[in-house]
Amino acid sequence: MTFKLTFHGAARTVTGSCYLIETDNAKVLVDCGMFQGSKTMSELNYRPFPFDPTTIDAMLLTHAHIDHTGVIPKLTKNGFKGKIYCTPGTVDLCQIMLPDSGHIQESDVEQLNKRNAKRGLDPVEPIYTLLDATEALKHFSPVEYETWMSPAKGIRARYWNAGHLLGSASIEVEIEQTGKPATRLLFSGDIGPDNKLLEQDPEAPTAWDYVICESTYGGRDRFERSLEKRREILANELKDAAARGGVLLIPSFAVERTQEVVTDIVYLMDHGSVPSANIFIDSPLANKATEIFRKHAPEIENGADLAKAFASPLVRATETVDDSKALNNLSGFNIIIAASGMAEAGRIRHHLLNHLWQKSTTVLLVGFQAGGSLGAMLEQGEKNVRIMGQQVAVAATIRRIEDYSGHADGPELVAWIKQRLPIAKNLFLTHGEEESSLALANDVKSFVAENRIIRPALDEAYDLSGDLAQIITSTVKPRIDHAAVATPDWHNDTQSLIMDLQDTLKNAATDKDRGVILRKLKRALVGGDESALPAINTARRRPYRARGFDES
């Protein structure tokens, strides 16, 4: 029997996880996630799937994060009828995360259509709605860790704790082969670090034909830090933010990251290590997720510390939009934690719009910032950004702390792969940007032959039925140029050019000089003569680059 594996997402990028297993008898998806980052990447979420959803028999889901689950409602809306197998923890989280995502799709498109109407543009439809997300939940079927099940004919699977998130899993898959042993595959999912506050260390068996491993932090050594050391680092950031006298904004993923950060902040305040302050969790999703973590407290580490933290009078949850808007009136040192972690959506964008221009503000990034995202632009030192159509000067202090990453770092990934040996055929490196996957490939070639390490590109398909994986050149045409994956796109360049032009015009000595600049620019646009463009002043702005580390 022949079978192939196609990488429809998380290929040289950290988002959009989606792998398609096809045999003579079945088609099974592993994950169906949302692309995030630049507009070019995000636009893929609106396009048709590169496969027919009605032909998919089942899905194996690694965990609940939106970059692994975010277009499941679109899949079911477009005809997928099968079951979605995942752990009970993942089922519980998806019951709040997917409807929340549907609500975001609707509200974001509503705001966009209001702006488009003023510009004379046609309205657009959301990727899916809250109702679509609710309907998708009917397809979920819970499975326990380390228990074999058969999602489709000739395929069986079992789940291993990946240590990344409540319910997260690495998935073991066996494909039946006529007249020979079954082919064994392991999909790592997202692998957790060794010292995660709420999760145990990742687990999985040894001896595989193929391993498909994430590479988010490939080549990046965060250095081993204890819980005490992490809290010390956080304490220093909190004290510095308090000294600036303004609001501390923490863009944070609502599920688990927020719970970890709040647990540590409350601990530090209770022990007098940092000044006390109100901690506003401006995320209804985070508040719902906290209740799920309390439900699963016996399954997670430090569950009692989490419960104590969220009972603190310092922790205040907002629910309504009016509650969120009221936070704009805060003065002095207060902490606002809101989604999304990459500042690509959610209430954090409103808070950034209202506070980025103030020198007293601190923004603390506690997760991975995908190339092209607003979070990445802030992390890279951009001095002007556009948020919801408005230009904002960045006067706030931007800080980053890596210790809350839900991903194993480079050395931990190397150790995880080494513990899976022997790998008889190929190691595929996915879920990492170019720099990271290349670095991990270099780090493991001492024990995995270099010619057996594959870094698949978006929409590439491989025949896995032979002695080694073979790329299938007649596969579906890639939806976008591979060079455009996880890199700044023309939208980023346009935004940068507009802001640079505005700065140049502002700094010009006279109106006459401004007129000269604009006339030269118009001639360049009409005639294509690049030499006629004025010298745009970019000295005070750092060049924008895609990054290969930090977390989703």
Predicted TM-score (pTM) of the model is 0.80
Nearest-angstrom CA–CA distance, 314 and 318 = 13
- Collapsing DSSP states into helix, strand and coil, what is residue 258? helix
- Collapsing DSSP states into helix, strand and coil, what is residue 451? helix
Residue 137: DSSP 8-state: G
Nearest-angstrom CA–CA distance, 137 and 459 = 27
Q: Which residue has the tokens 């032009």?
A: 501
Q: What is the dihedral of CA 377, 382, 386, 391, to 10 degrees?
A: 170
Is 253 inside a domain boundary?
yes
- Least Cα distance to 12 among 459, 442, 544, 461 occurs for 459
CATH of the domain at 480: 3.60.15.10
85 & 19 share domain? yes
Q: b vs e for 488-510, b when ≥16 Cβ sit within 10 Å of the residue's Cβ?
A: bbeebeebbeebbbebbbeebee
Is 207 inside a domain boundary?
yes
Domain interval for residue 278:
227-400
Domain boundary residue, one of 452, 484, 516 = 484
Q: b vs e for 257-279, b when ≥16 Cβ sit within 10 Å of the residue's Cβ?
A: bbbbbbbbbbbbbeeeebeebeb
Report the 10 Å Cβ neighbour count for 181. Answer: 9
Is 534 inside a domain boundary?
no
- SS3 percent helix, strand, coil of the chain, rounded to 5, is 35, 20, 45
Is 92 inside a domain boundary?
yes
320 & 460 share domain? no
426 contact partners, CB below 8 Å, separation of at least 6: 210, 211, 452, 453, 454, 468, 469
232 & 209 share domain? no
343 & 362 share domain? yes
pLDDT value at residue 551: 36
Q: CA separation (Å) from 465 to 4, 24, 59, 176, 220?
A: 7, 11, 21, 11, 34
170 & 279 share domain? no
Is 256 inside a domain boundary?
yes
- Write out the two tokens for 128: 């899916």
Q: Are 14 and 370 in contact (CB under 8 A)?
A: yes
- Write out the two tokens for 499: 């802001």
Domain boundary residue, one of 349, 365, 400 = 400
Distance of CA 491 to the CA centre of its chain: 20
Domain boundary residue, one of 379, 400, 421 = 400
- Give the pLDDT of the chain (552 residues) as one tens digit per residue: 789 999 999 999 999 999 999 999 999 999 999 998 777 888 899 999 999 999 999 999 999 999 999 999 999 999 999 999 999 999 999 999 999 999 989 988 888 888 888 889 899 899 999 999 999 999 999 999 999 999 999 999 999 999 999 999 999 999 998 889 999 999 999 999 987 778 888 999 999 999 999 999 999 997 767 888 889 999 999 999 999 999 999 999 888 889 999 999 999 999 999 999 999 999 888 989 988 988 887 777 778 888 889 999 999 999 888 999 999 888 899 999 998 888 887 899 999 999 999 999 999 999 888 777 888 899 999 999 988 878 899 999 999 998 888 899 999 999 999 999 999 999 999 999 999 999 999 999 999 999 999 999 999 999 999 999 999 986 567 787 766 665 656 666 666 677 777 778 878 888 888 888 888 888 877 775 555 454 544 433 333 333 332 333
Is 526 inside a domain boundary?
no
Is 121 inside a domain boundary?
yes
480 & 355 share domain? no
- Collapsing DSSP states into helix, strand and coil, what is residue 108? helix
pLDDT value at residue 378: 94
122 & 254 share domain? no
Is 497 inside a domain boundary?
no
Taking phi over 0 as left and psi of -120 to 50 as alpha, with beta for the rest, 489 belongs to: beta
Q: What is the CA radius of gyration of the chain?
A: 24
318 & 411 share domain? no
12 & 92 share domain? yes
438 & 396 share domain? no
Nearest-angstrom CA–CA distance, 384 and 391 = 7
139 & 189 share domain? yes
281 & 369 share domain? yes
CATH of the domain at 265: 3.40.50.10890
Number of domains in the chain: 2
Q: Write the DSSP string, 503-538.
A: HHHHHSSSHHHHHHHHHHHHHHHHH--GGGS-----
Q: Are 415 and 197 in contact (CB under 8 A)?
A: no
Please, which residues bridge with residue 364 across strands?
399
